[in-house]
Amino acid sequence: MDSVATADRRQNIVTDPVRVMVVDDSVVARGLMTRWVDEDPELAVIASHRNGKLAVADVMRSEPDVIILDIEMPEMDGLTALPLLLKARPGVQIVMASTLTRRNAEISLKALSLGASDYIPKPDGNSSMTTSSDFRRDLVEKVRALGRRCQRRRLPSAPREAVAAHPVARAAVSPSLAGEAVPARRTAASGSFKLRNWSSVMPKALAIGSSTGGPQALAKVMQTLGPGLKGVPVFITQHMPATFTAILAEHLSKASGLVAAEGVDGESVTAGRIYVAPGGKHMLVRKGATGPVIRLSDEPPVNFCKPAVDPMFQSIAEVYGPSVLSAILTGMGSDGARGAVAVADHGGSVVAQDEETSVVWGMPQAAANSGACAAVLPLDELAATLGRVLKGGRP
């Protein structure tokens, strides 16, 4: 391919349809997901199969960007097919789809550790799936975002301005979010942002928000920090439904060596413990008679999310002020940007994961664009930096 053709192709990455394969043994589910995906002008279903064996046999020919992969199927299930699909089509983005049971939640989280990009819980029963607007919206948004990521990574030298122009890649944040900031500093993979100064106060709480790709990133951070977390409480909001968040807490406990569990309304906050926002509830921190306490809120979704990062960050900023250390990890959308500004405005520190190491660079980019961050870093460096700051060292 000559240089002109290559440049044209790179420029067109924001308009080429995302190629999608649907793999599900249910005719109804397969038909619904195929129709919903095809109705989005940015997406195109190029293959659909009833089991993993057929998908593996076809993946090299059809060359999908994204595969929606059911877990329970005859002949070859999703977990068995997953590594074979990744081997045959390196870089393909795989979304695991399953009904919301504890067993399937455990399998979905295991699939993430084996290379799946994300998961989506299917409504229980065909009639529920047909009428679930939330499931349809989540499915299409995840496929679109992951598909664009796959296309960009297959064309690594694509012009940044072309990628940024795409609505999926651009995190739109209100100008009102921007606060006082120090001059822009260029980071390795994330462009230029106005950065705040780090807080000079020793951290008394660590708050983390994440979404797509978050379970893997959280496990990495918890493994790195481990015993270094014993001096502070850790508050985590990961966009997940109920059942999933309880299992996530168990995984984070193993990764960190600390006690991790879903937050319980009214419980006292203790250093060295990890509190995970339970699916379907916003987790907040409030001042209690003898110290901070967990509060669970059943208020409507924020940024289409419940739990959401924004209310958690905002409440923690009010309680801990300049002693908050926070991080925004990989995820779709802009949840966490307003909360990050609240943390920074109260004197705390915010660090965002960079584009190169994020599965989807939506939430971290939104936080970076808000002017609230002290740094935008690759995941390994982010975790190491959190560890140094928690020990009272320099970032």
Catalytic residue among 211, 315, 326, 334: 211
Same domain, 136 and 280: no
Same domain, 155 and 226: no
- Residue 277's SS3 state is coil
Handedness of CA 132, 237, 140, 95 (dihedral sign): negative
Q: What is the pLDDT of residue 15?
A: 66
Question: What is 122-178 written as a DSSP string?
Answer: EPSSHHHHHH-HHHHHHHHHHHHHHHHHHHHHHSTT--HHHHHTSTTT-----GGG-
Name 324's Cβ contacts closer than 8 Å, sequence gap at least 6: 199, 203, 204, 205, 207, 316, 317, 343, 346, 348, 349
Specify the CATH number for the domain of residue 62: 3.40.50.2300
Catalytic residue among 239, 251, 282, 346: 239
Q: Cis bond leading into 183, ω under 30°?
A: no
Type and span of the H or E element at 21? strand 18-23
Query: Token pair for residue 229?
Result: 């977390």
Same domain, 221 and 309: yes
Boundary-marking domain end, from 132, 161, 190: 161
User: Does residue 238 form part of some domain?
Assistant: yes
Mind listing the pLDDT tens digit for each residue in 206-254? 999 999 999 999 999 999 999 999 999 999 999 999 889 999 999 999 9
pLDDT of residue 100 exceeding 80, the answer is no
Name 235's Cβ contacts closer than 8 Å, sequence gap at least 6: 205, 206, 207, 208, 263, 275, 277, 283, 285, 312, 316
Q: What is the pLDDT of residue 160?
A: 43
What's the domain count of the chain?
2
User: Does residue 172 form part of some domain?
Assistant: no
> What is the C-alpha to C-alpha distance for residues 318 and 243, in angstroms, rounded to an integer?
29
- Residue 59's SS3 state is helix
Boundary-marking domain end, from 106, 131, 161: 161
Mind listing the pLDDT tens digit for each residue in 31-54? 999 999 999 999 999 999 999 999
Catalytic residue among 58, 65, 335, 354: 335
User: Does residue 169 form part of some domain?
Assistant: no
Query: Token pair for residue 368?
Result: 């970076």
Beta bridge partners, 209, equal 237, 328
Same domain, 246 and 204: yes
**335 given a catalytic annotation:** yes
Per-residue CA distances from 72 to 51, 63, 85, 294 (Å) = 9, 23, 16, 37
The parent domain of residue 135 ranges over 3-161
Same domain, 196 and 277: yes
User: Does residue 175 form part of some domain?
Assistant: no
pTM: 0.85
Which backbone phi and psi does 361 adopt, to 5 degrees?
Answer: -95, 70
